[in-house]
Amino acid sequence: MKKNFPAIIYCIGAMATCSLNGCTAAVPYAISAAQIVASGGATEQHGNSPAQTPQAAQISQTNRMDDSKERAAAARPYQLIAEKRYDEALPLLREQADQNDAKAQGQIGRMYFEGKGVPQDYNKAAEWMHKSAEGGHPGSQYMLAWFYYKGIGVPRDYMKSVAWAQQSADKGDVDASNLLGVLYRTGRGVPKDYTKALEFFNEADRYGNIEAPAHIASMYKNGQGIPMDYRQTIDWYSKAAEKGNDAGWIHLAYLYATCKDPQYVDSKKAVVYALKGTEKEPNNFASWAALAAAYARNSQFEMAIETAMQSDTLLQADIHLEETEKHAAISRAQTRLAAYKEGKAYTEVNEEEDL
């Protein structure tokens, strides 16, 4: 799987509301104030509404301007973050967080996670995300679910991951739907259920999640809940790559290099896509593993061995894999490397994927 920070987006700039994968209310805070200025403070009358007295009109205008100032003040820290002025944004966010602003609490959590404006601290990131999630912010609920899934800042707990992801998905967060698909597909925190997994993946894909197509492709590849179909696998991996999921290129390269159905083996495409994968994800061990397999399929075994060893170095250093997953991935990597040393290309035979 692509191992990068999952998509949790807090509004940046003068936008009204925010949800995962983008802002949902595209009305700049400044519009109402601008309209007031342009109209000289006048209000349009509709139907039989009585005309306002001058005093009432002045009070109404003052209230609107006060509201506009409050919205501008609320948006200010996110404008500063957009400008990468994290040190200035943080105290403003803390003021909002002290007023139980769930969005601000989540943004502070993200800053601790990324080490922007504060020293990177996963424990504090999880604490702030928990406050925000308890306050009902769907993006933070998803993020907390992901923390529990990966064991970041909190002990790994799949049941809590399911619970928080479900709360977030119920509010329409598509990344949470994708995570629920992963949990149901792997049977973590819930009984394994390929049908439900596909439902969540398809929902996530339908509303823009970039990781879901790769999961659907993998299920076609392995015949999980649907008939095995390499054509569909290629189509869905291609869709993932086109939507911006760089792991899609890595999956395609590995498939073209190692597919057990010879009609889908394509050594040239394997190298092209694998090189694109290593360019986009140079620190992902799976991208180099795919490139090694592609070189071997092209009978470039010395390059395959060198690249496989580079992949192994990254794999050994990966801190986000469970120990059992890591041991299994290392074992598979050793099997591939042994084939390259014997001057053989590697053909996949019903094994779990590293990607």
Burial class (CB in 10 A: 0-12, 13-18, 19+), 10: buried
User: Domain of 282?
Assistant: 249-355
- Total structural domains in the chain? 1
Per-residue burial over 289-320, b = 16 or more CB atoms within 10 Å of its CB, e = otherwise: bbbbbbbbbbebbebbbebbebbbebbeeeee
With respect to residue 253, please indicate whether it lies within any of the assigned structural domains: yes
List the CATH number of the domain containing 283.
1.25.40
Q: What is the pTM of this model?
A: 0.77
For residue 114, tell me if it sits in a domain: no
> In angstroms, rounded to a whole number, what is the distance separating the alpha carbons of residues 124 and 138?
19
Structural domain includes residue 312:
yes
Q: What is the amino acid identity at position 9?
A: I
Asked whether residue 296 is domain-assigned, the answer is yes
Q: How far apart are CA 165 and CA 334, in angstroms?
A: 35
Q: Which residue has the tokens 């390259």?
A: 340
Residue 256 in any domain: the answer is: yes
pLDDT one digit per residue (tens) for the chain, 355 residues: 434 444 433 333 333 333 333 333 332 323 233 332 233 333 333 444 455 666 666 666 656 666 788 888 899 999 999 999 999 999 999 999 999 999 999 999 999 999 999 999 999 999 999 999 999 999 999 999 999 999 999 999 999 999 999 999 999 999 999 999 999 999 999 999 999 999 999 999 999 999 999 999 999 999 999 999 999 999 999 999 999 999 999 999 999 999 999 999 999 999 999 999 999 999 999 999 999 999 999 999 999 999 999 999 999 999 878 888 899 999 999 999 999 999 999 998 754 554 4
- How far is Cα 103 from Cα 92, in angstroms, rounded to an integer? 12
pLDDT for 240-295, tens place per residue? 999 999 999 999 999 999 999 999 999 999 999 999 999 999 999 999 999 999 99
285 located within any domain: yes
With CA atoms as reference, report the closest residue to 248 among 258, 238, 256: 238
Query: Could you tell me where the DSSP H helices lie in the chain?
Result: 30-39, 54-82, 86-98, 102-114, 122-134, 138-150, 158-170, 174-186, 194-206, 212-222, 230-242, 247-258, 267-280, 285-297, 301-317, 323-341
* 276 domain-assigned: yes
Q: What are phi and psi of 19, to 5 degrees?
A: -150, 175
Could you tell me if residue 174 is inside a domain? no
